Amino acid sequence: MSTILSKYEREVKRLRELRPQEKTVDDVLARLERDPSDLPARLSLGNIFYLFGEPERAIEVFQSIIDQNPNGAALARYHLGITLYRMGRLDEAIPVLEKGFSVNGNIAMFLYWLGVACYHKGDWPKAQRYYEEFLKRCPQSKMAYYHLAVLSAAQKENWKSITCLRKLLEIDTRDTAALYHLANAYVNMRKPTEALGTLRKLLEIDPRDVRAKTMMEHLSSSEP
């Protein structure tokens, strides 16, 4: 058994026991048996540990790659940052992702996950900046437009929220969540006619949407 696998022998045995027919696991382990320095296989091992409920082992694997290349290892930093974020360790995740982006600024997804992490940490202005920069590089990202719209609305920047939701709806005209938030943004802007028109579009797509029905009833009853 290779050095890296022998270090995690108990966990490796558990992987094989849990998914004896899983070819991906067997392939990764076989590659590491042949070459313990196989970087893609080591990254895969870290991700497998996370998926199989061993996040601390995943962190060890990613960190070991970084330790061997302290001025590089962008992909290891990417996976490490996401793992730390998913564990709720935001104060650790954000600097890891920031360092990774400084190492390789061509990986746009660093910006997306930095936006997500900063949002959950409560640093909304910083999250906005990351999402905006991400959308310059990936203008077809529905999720980034959605997150940016929600952030903008929360900070009472309703026109920015509306702009983001319109962009999202150019990508997917049937996105009911986007239509609902667009209607809500119009309400906040005191534009009930636009809000009602948006809700009608939503209910044409999903006539059972309770939130949209409730908002429409409230707006209709408020009309002069």
Full-model pTM: 0.84
| Residue 150 in tokens | 């929600």
Domain membership flag for residue 112: no
Domain membership flag for residue 34: no
Mean pLDDT of 84-106: 97
Residue range of the domain that includes 147? 139-224
Q: Kindly report the number of other CB atoms within 10 A of residue 160's CB atom.
A: 18
Does the structure show a pLDDT above 90 at 34? Answer: no
Q: The CATH number of the domain where 180 resides is what? A: 1.25.40.10
What is the tens place of the pLDDT at every residue in 201-222?
999 999 999 999 999 998 988 7
Nearest C-alpha neighbor of 12 from the set 4, 72, 140, 177 = 4
Domain membership flag for residue 165: yes
Contact 5, 31 (CB under 8 A): no
Domain membership flag for residue 70: no
Domain membership flag for residue 25: no
Place of tokens 């091992």: 45
Domain count within the chain = 1
What is the tens place of the pLDDT at every residue in 38-88?
889 899 989 988 988 889 989 999 999 999 898 889 999 999 999 999 999
Domain membership flag for residue 186: yes
Domain membership flag for residue 16: no
- What values do phi and psi take at 147, rounded to 5? -60, -40
Domain membership flag for residue 51: no
